[in-house]
């Protein structure tokens, strides 16, 4: 089926080549990081994990969110999602690839990563995260390959795939739970040591992922013949609404516990995040933007009129995505290190190298989404871009 | 990479040779053939059921300018010296009391405690979180004597152990450390960039019958090293006679470095 990705119009190739160019530039930055060491990043003794690990965490959520289309479709036979389930699965595959790449670039000795498999260490949450992420990747590749293959031949997918799909549902929950456990089990880091971290991760994932999927569906409607339809988009919007509301509720619960108890080692992190600590307020403006975006998105989403209006829905989805990206992709990891275990208040700003490498990994993910969506829609004969369709439909213009 | 590796094999080979030479010299009581390698004591290696350290901070405070233990450790173990604090690699260093004992300071504390530094190093916890989180077994607690060991050749540089350590005792090599080592000691390996390192209670010296470099370097008897399981050991004697504290005892890590304050 891969051959479907190798034919396309000019617009498709321009987009693909632009993404490849970004990946190429990012590779050069990575080579520099590889030869000089992680010292070229803004990371250091006190802030040991930063932008890369934060992107990894955020994207595990995007990957897990595929379950929000898979579950209604396969478990509840919700037919409206028939067309978009494959889009969710392909988004998951691309997101997991980005996750793995972010981990790879964060390693001090990336080519020793095989040691994780050579010396399996079940006491380490990182070991389990590797297992669950790779398993999720394999499950999604098998499921999407088999179901799309069957669709191509116009037959029903084989029966054995059903249990595999059912297995992928709790598995999706597991990847984000285990990712939360990476952080939540560390006595050294009180900011993360909260039982609500995993539920909060899942809530934010089930808001950000489907919000992204809505945006993708609407983009596809613009640039291809594919139309997800109104109902699936509206159902996704409801999922985003519930998940975002639950996420905000969870965050407020965390704030209450820290503020009301007043225990410094919990409170200080929140102070740093929203107000700044010892003159270091680098995170505060971001967190306020994130909070405002969260409120704006909820106002729009909870109001059925706004939610049903697709223009407002786009605004709401972008607000949800940006709000949660700041919360998880910037604040959550770094704040765990401020103050440090020794009570210092370090500063961390990602360097250009770090940002360029991250941009390259996002470009890689977008490239995968593009290619995979192209394959899926070509199989259904829906890829053909609007322009070509219009030309074909107006023979007068074409003939003249 | 290729050069690094060659250099490493050269150094580790030399170390192995040195150790072998040492054991031969023990048997034949001949002179040490390699001048660079410290001599082996005839009594054989120092062993214990559970190594522990007691640091007398009052003695450190009496000699606040003294930095002998830090220098001795960092020279012995080829620890690089970075100017930028974010790149720093440290095995043992001085930290302010309020940083070292975050939960035990108060604004009206004795002046000496408030401002004078406390020596900090790996606590060789009985229940080490770093070991629990390591995804490759590159750091582990040695069964025979409780030392938390580190394998720089297995370490993938994920820094999970650095994140999990409540004491900030682990250092990551953000850059190639070799150009920043003041004088390379040939009988101890250097590290490559991208791996984590820390104090190992001088396991390599214990094997040769020598006390840890910091303990040996201390002129004022502020550092005591001994077997916690032996009721007659120096550390047990101090612990039973003096009031001692440990860093962040509430976390259940059971640190094995005790402080007399």
Domain ranges across chain A:
2-379
User: How many CB atoms neighbour CB A335 within 10 A?
Assistant: 22
Write down the pLDDT at residue B13. 46
Chain A residues lying within 8 Å of B160, measured CB to CB: 124, 126, 182
| Position A389 confidence tier, pLDDT thresholds 50, 70, 90 | low
Contact yes or no for A342 and B102 at CB 8 A:
yes
A5-20: pLDDT as tens digits:
888 889 999 999 999 9
A280 alpha-carbon distance from chain centroid: 29
Q: Using the beta-carbon criterion (under 8 Å), do B129 and A187 form an inter-chain contact?
A: yes
Inter-chain contacts counted by CB atoms under 8 A, chains A and B: 138
Q: What is the pLDDT of residues A333-384, one digit of tens each?
A: 999 999 999 999 999 999 999 999 999 999 999 999 999 999 999 988 877 7
The reported pLDDT for the residue numbered A386 is 56
Q: Supply the pLDDT for residue A391.
A: 52
What does the pLDDT look like over A34-47, one tens digit per residue?
999 999 999 999 99
Question: Is the model's pLDDT at B105 over the cut of 80?
Answer: no
pLDDT at B78 over 80: yes
Q: Which two tokens stand for residue B249?
A: 């005892």
What's the whole-number mean pLDDT along residues A49-59? 98
A293-343 tens-digit pLDDT: 999 999 999 999 999 999 999 999 999 999 999 999 999 999 999 999 999
pLDDT band at A385 (very low <50, low <70, confident <90, very high): low
Distance CA A260, CA B183 (A): 53
Question: B-chain residues within 8 Å CB-CB of A188?
Answer: 129, 163-166, 251
**Is B246 in contact with B42 (CB distance < 8 Å)?**
no
% of chain A surpassing 70 pLDDT = 96
Q: How many Å separate Cα A287 from the centre of its chain?
A: 19
What gap in Å lies between CA A241 and CA A252, rounded to an integer?
A: 17
Whether A400 shows a pLDDT value over 70: the answer reads no
Q: Which residue has the higher pLDDT, A382 or A399?
A: A382
Q: Which of the four pLDDT bands, split at 50, 70 and 90, describes residue A387?
A: low
The minimal CB distance from A115 to the residues B156, B194, B253 is found for B156
What pLDDT score does B41 carry? 61
A347 interface with B at CB cutoff 8 Å: no
pLDDT of residue B104: 79
Helix, strand, coil % (nearest 5) of chain A?
Answer: 75, 0, 25
Res. B108 pLDDT band, cuts 50 70 90: confident
The pLDDT score that the predictor gives to residue A36 is: 95
The verdict on A186 touching B (C-beta cutoff 8 Å) is yes
As a whole number, the mean pLDDT across chain A is: 94
In this complex, do A123 and B87 lie within 8 Å of one another by their Cβ atoms?
Answer: no
Q: What is the value of ipTM here, to two decimals?
A: 0.92
The Cα A143–Cα A94 span in angstroms is 14
A186, B176: Cβ pair inside 8 Å?
A: no
Cross-chain residue pair B133–A37, CB shorter than 8 Å: no
- Helix locations, chain A, DSSP H: 10-36, 51-64, 67-70, 85-106, 115-118, 125-153, 161-184, 197-223, 230-261, 264-274, 284-302, 304-308, 310-326, 332-335, 352-379, 386-393, 395-399
Query: Which site among A38, A45, A130, A178 would you substitute to test the B interface, given the most B Cβ atoms closer than 10 Å to its Cβ?
Result: A45
Rounded mean pLDDT, B110-120 = 81
CA A268 from centroid of its chain's CA atoms: 28
Q: With a cut of 80, say whether residue A210 has pLDDT above it.
A: yes
């Amino acid at each position: 089926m891969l051959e479907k990705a190798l034919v396309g119009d000019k617009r498709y190739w321009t987009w693909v080549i632009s993404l490849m160019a970004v990946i190429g530039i990012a590779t050069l930055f990575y080579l520099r990081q590889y030869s000089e060491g992680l010292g070229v990043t803004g990371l250091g003794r006190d802030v040991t994990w930063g932008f890369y690990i934060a992107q990894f965490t955020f994207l595990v959520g995007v990957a897990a969110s595929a379950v929000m289309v898979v579950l209604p479709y396969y478990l509840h036979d919700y037919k409206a999602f028939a067309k978009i389930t494959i889009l969710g699965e392909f988004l998951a595959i691309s997101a997991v690839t980005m996750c793995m790449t972010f981990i790879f670039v964060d390693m001090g000795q990336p080519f020793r990563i095989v040691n994780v498999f050579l010396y399996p260490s079940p006491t380490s949450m990182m070991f389990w995260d590797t297992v669950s992420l790779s398993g999720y990747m394999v499950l999604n590749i098998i499921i999407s390959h088999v179901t799309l293959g069957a669709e191509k031949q116009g037959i029903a997918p084989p029966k054995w795939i059903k249990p595999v799909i059912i297995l992928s549902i709790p598995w999706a929950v597991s990847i984000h739970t285990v990712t939360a456990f990476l952080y939540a089990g560390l006595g050294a880091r009180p900011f993360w040591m909260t039982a609500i971290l995993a539920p909060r991760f899942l809530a934010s994932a089930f808001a950000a992922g489907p919000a992204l999927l809505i945006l993708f569906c609407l983009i596809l409607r613009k640039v291809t013949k594919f139309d997800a339809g109104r109902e699936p988009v509206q159902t996704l919007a409801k999922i985003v609404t519930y998940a975002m509301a639950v996420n905000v509720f969870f965050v407020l619960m965390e704030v209450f516990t820290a503020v009301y108890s007043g225990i410094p080692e919990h409170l200080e992190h929140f102070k740093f995040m929203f107000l700044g600590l010892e003159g270091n307020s680098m995170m505060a403006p971001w967190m306020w933007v994130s909070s405002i975006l969260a409120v704006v998105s909820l106002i729009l989403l909870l109001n059925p009129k706004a939610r049903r209006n697709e223009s407002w829905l786009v605004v709401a989805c972008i607000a949800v995505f940006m709000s949660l990206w700041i919360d998880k992709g910037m604040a959550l990891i770094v704040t765990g290190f401020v103050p440090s275990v020794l009570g210092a208040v370090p500063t961390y700003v990602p360097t250009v190298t770090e940002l360029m490498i991250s941009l390259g990994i996002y470009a890689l993910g977008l490239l995968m989404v593009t290619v995979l969506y192209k394959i899926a829609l070509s199989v259904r004969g829906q890829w053909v871009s609007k322009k070509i369709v219009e030309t074909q439909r107006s023979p007068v213009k074409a003939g003249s | 990479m290729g050069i690094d590796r060659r250099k490493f094999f050269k150094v580790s080979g030399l170390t192995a040779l040195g150790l072998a030479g040492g054991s031969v010299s023990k048997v034949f009581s001949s002179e040490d053939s390699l001048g660079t390698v410290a001599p082996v004591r005839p009594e054989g290696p120092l062993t214990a059921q559970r190594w522990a350290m007691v640091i007398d901070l009052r003695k450190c405070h009496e000699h606040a300018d003294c930095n002998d233990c830090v220098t001795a450790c960092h020279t012995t173990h080829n620890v690089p010296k970075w100017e930028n604090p974010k790149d720093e690699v440290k095995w043992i260093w001085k930290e302010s009391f309020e940083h070292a004992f975050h939960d035990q300071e108060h604004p009206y504390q004795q002046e000496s405690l408030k401002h004078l530094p406390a020596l900090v190093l790996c606590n060789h916890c009985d229940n080490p979180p770093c070991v629990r989180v390591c995804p490759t077994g590159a750091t582990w607690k040695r069964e025979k004597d409780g030392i938390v060991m580190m394998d720089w050749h297995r370490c993938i540089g994920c820094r999970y152990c650095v994140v999990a350590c409540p004491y900030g005792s682990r250092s990551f090599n953000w850059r190639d450390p070799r150009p920043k080592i003041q004088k390379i000691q040939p009988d101890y390996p250097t590290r490559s960039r991208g791996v984590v390192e820390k104090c190992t209670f001088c396991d390599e010296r214990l094997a040769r019958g020598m006390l840890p470099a910091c303990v040996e370097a201390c002129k004022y008897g502020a550092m005591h090293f001994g077997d916690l399981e032996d009721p007659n050991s120096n550390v047990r004697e101090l612990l039973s006679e003096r009031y001692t504290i440990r860093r962040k005892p509430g976390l259940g890590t059971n640190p094995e470095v005790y402080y007399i304050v």
